[in-house]
Structure 1
């Protein structure tokens, strides 16, 4: 079977800026795929290339085996949910959802029935006659989702659709989106700069930086086994150890990632097991973060961060020892 989306050495330039720079990528049918990266990294431009709102300067794009270059958005079997939802304020909820079907010439009774089904799918049954101004932010997000789904796309594109929601509602919608994608079985391509969103929802994640993909893998792959310093720093939090520090503490002579939650804080005089590494130092900061406490310790060579369960009694300027399994140090090649 052909990939749902295939990029082959795709580039897109805006003047002298290479927004997308030689990207090659396969997204499989039925996959929840996240494009993750900081602002300006190229992820949204890639989404727009799939949608047809942009055309590549170089390379080749396929959607389910069909060439996409030069094909206008309305002829692609994809739909987009935008960050600002782009709902029509003068239309009812039902009319918003059915708008795409109306443009396609679908009969009124059929499009109203399909709009009703789509709203039920996103838990808004009975909202057909309401105005969008009467809805909460989460409800507007669901209407935008229903409007995209009612056309039966083979690929659904989501451009940071949860960005305007508060934390609790965003977490709720993450669960609902993942559940919806699983039940529908269609390909979701989700753009976000939020690592938590990508890790919690996606089957696979592509990490973007400066127009290029720097790593692709499952959420656990990119978190547990980052291949570059950028990925280690961007996806979660990491102690990035220089080669000389890593090899002195039982690792390899390469840039190395050590996640703070793998580091424990113990008394300076504690005994260390053979399969553990250690470093003594002075506590420079203690930050209570609810379920955990973040502790920064300045060792002889460099500052290290440990994330430990909340409740530990630690104080600034206290002498401690950090310990961690040697196996928790992940080599990152050249560490670029």
Structure 2
């Protein structure tokens, strides 16, 4: 089956800077694919290479089996939704949505009808006559989405489109974007530095660092089985254990990831399950975080963070506690 987007040994250099460094990647048709990484990791440059705003220094890019390098953006069946929305303030919402169709020469009545349908799709059916300045941030984001979708792209590129929204609205839009992608069945390529967004929406996630993909897989695979210390640290929160500590507490002699939510904090040593990984230490801090309490424990010079349900135990700083975890929660990684 032909991939929606294929990168074959793609690099993009800016002088001596390797923004993208020998990336190989296949994105399936109909997939919600997230590119996740810190600033400067190469994820946005990859998105721009798909869009045609950048050209590769070396390597080969295909979009649905067709060579993309050298092809200008307007000849690619892709559309981009930007973080700043890029709406025309002097146009109405309806005119903004219909703009791409006007450039293509679609008759006025047809493009206005298609714009209305696109606005209805993003729950802005009656907003066509308004100006962008009269809308909230979330509404402007929906207009930008409608403007991209009205062109019926095979691939929709989303460059941190939720970055300007507050937390509650971001969560709402995450649900709506995922629902819309399922409804339309088109390929979404989503760039973000927010781990929660990537894990909650994507079918697959690629983790970028220093211009390379360091791990790709399902959200659960990337979170539960990080292959490197970078992925363990960047995706969620993790205790990265030294080979010596891991080997002494139920794991292998390698760098190891142990997620805080896998750790139980007990005040009675007799309650520690037989056969589990275990350690005893002194509580150095207790931080209430709403649904969970973060407990940091000093164990033989190693600090372990545990996430326990709020109110589940009376734990205080300076207290001696016993930590326990399933041996399967110790995930061996490479040393990079």
Give TM-score, length-normalised by structure 2.
0.99
Determine if contact 1:49/1:55 at 8 Å carries over to the other structure: yes
State the Cα deviation string for residues 252-287 of structure 1 (Å, max 9, x = none): 111111000000110153343232111111111110
**5+ unaligned residues in a row in structure 2: which ranges?**
none
Aligned residues: 335
State the Cα deviation string for residues 296-329 of structure 1 (Å, max 9, x = none): 0000141100000001321111111111111110
Q: Return the offset for 1:238.
A: 0.4
Q: Return the offset for 1:250.
A: 1.6
What does residue range 17-36 of structure 1 map to in structure 2 within 5 Å?
17-36=17-36
Determine if contact 1:268/1:280 at 8 Å carries over to the other structure: no
Determine if contact 2:268/2:322 at 8 Å carries over to the other structure: yes
CA separation in 2, counterparts of 1:203 and 1:87?
29
Secondary structure of residue in 2 paired with 1:41: coil
Pair 1:63 & 2:97 matched: no
Q: Return the offset for 1:226.
A: 0.4
CA separation in 2, counterparts of 1:52 and 1:34?
19
CA RMSD of aligned residues (A): 0.8
CA separation in 1, counterparts of 2:275 and 2:25?
39
* Aligned residue in 2 for 1:2: 2
* Aligned residue in 1 for 2:331: 330
CA separation in 1, counterparts of 2:275 and 2:30?
42
Determine if contact 1:10/1:57 at 8 Å carries over to the other structure: yes
User: Structure 1 segments of 4 or more deviating over 3 A?
Assistant: none
Give TM-score, length-normalised by structure 1.
0.99
CA separation in 2, counterparts of 1:276 and 1:86?
54
Q: Return the offset for 1:247.
A: 1.2
Pair 1:180 & 2:180 matched: yes
Pair 1:98 & 2:102 matched: no
Secondary structure of residue in 2 paired with 1:270: helix
CA separation in 1, counterparts of 2:270 and 2:168?
41
**5+ unaligned residues in a row in structure 1: which ranges?**
none
CA separation in 1, counterparts of 2:195 and 2:239?
17
* Aligned residue in 2 for 1:279: 279
